[in-house]
């Protein structure tokens, strides 16, 4: 079984939490499924859950280079120089990243409001970019955008390999064909 889930902001990618934070158990009723990969507490979007260990491995193991696409709202007006740097790969404290597919983006019309909203600062504009990675380090997109001078304010994963959000609202899930 494979479940596509639109993880809301502020939800942990686990089913239990001793600190009382929101978890997948609030949304996923199917038993014996586990997240294939992770999305940080402060990130949103596509999360795959499965009861198939081999499928989970194919999705998460870096050797399979499963492309993951994100939309990021960043502080400042992202420029071509920053996108070029992301396309070449940037050096992070744990070493250089692989090149990413980076492009200007606009805020999608289908995007839901975030709760709580992203902080608004009248004197500092924001912009959007699309970033596709084939590796999955901890908080990688956030660290990459910060490394090129544009800290991430909002991060939404929209695609993992051949699987996409495809209209799922935050907190919604659907079973998808494997």
Q: Which domain holds residue 147?
A: 67-160
Contacts for 115 with CB less than 8 Å, ≥ 6 apart: 8, 9, 10
The predicted pLDDT at position 64 comes to 66
CATH of residue 20: 3.30.70.580
Q: What is the CATH number of the domain that holds 99?
A: 3.30.70.1560
- Distance in angstroms (rounded) separating the CA atoms of residues 17 and 166: 29
| Catalytic position from the list 19, 32, 40, 79 | 40
Residues 83, 133: one domain?
yes
Tell me what the pLDDT averaged over the chain comes to: 93
- Residue 62 phi, psi dihedral angles, 5° rounding: -60, -25
17 is catalytic: no
pLDDT band at 111 (very low <50, low <70, confident <90, very high): very high
54 with 84, same domain: the answer is: no
């Amino acid at each position: 079984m494979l479940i596509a889930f639109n993880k809301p902001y502020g939800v942990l990618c686990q089913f239990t939490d001793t600190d009382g934070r929101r978890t997948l158990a609030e949304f996923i009723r199917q038993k014996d499924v586990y997240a294939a990969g992770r999305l940080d507490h402060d990130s949103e979007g596509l999360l795959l859950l499965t009861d198939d260990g081999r499928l989970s491995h194919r999705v998460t193991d870096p050797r399979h280079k499963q492309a993951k696409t994100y939309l990021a709202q960043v502080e400042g007006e992202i420029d071509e120089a920053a996108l070029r740097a992301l396309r070449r790969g940037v050096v992070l404290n744990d070493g250089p990243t692989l090149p990413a597919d980076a492009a200007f983006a606009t805020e999608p019309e289908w995007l839901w409001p975030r709760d709580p909203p992203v902080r608004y600062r009248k004197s500092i504009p924001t912009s959007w970019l699309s970033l596709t990675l084939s590796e999955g380090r901890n908080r990688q997109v956030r660290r990459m955008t910060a490394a090129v001078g544009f800290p991430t304010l909002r991060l939404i994963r929209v695609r993992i390999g051949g699987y996409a959000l495809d209209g799922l609202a935050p907190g919604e899930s659907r079973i998808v064909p494997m």
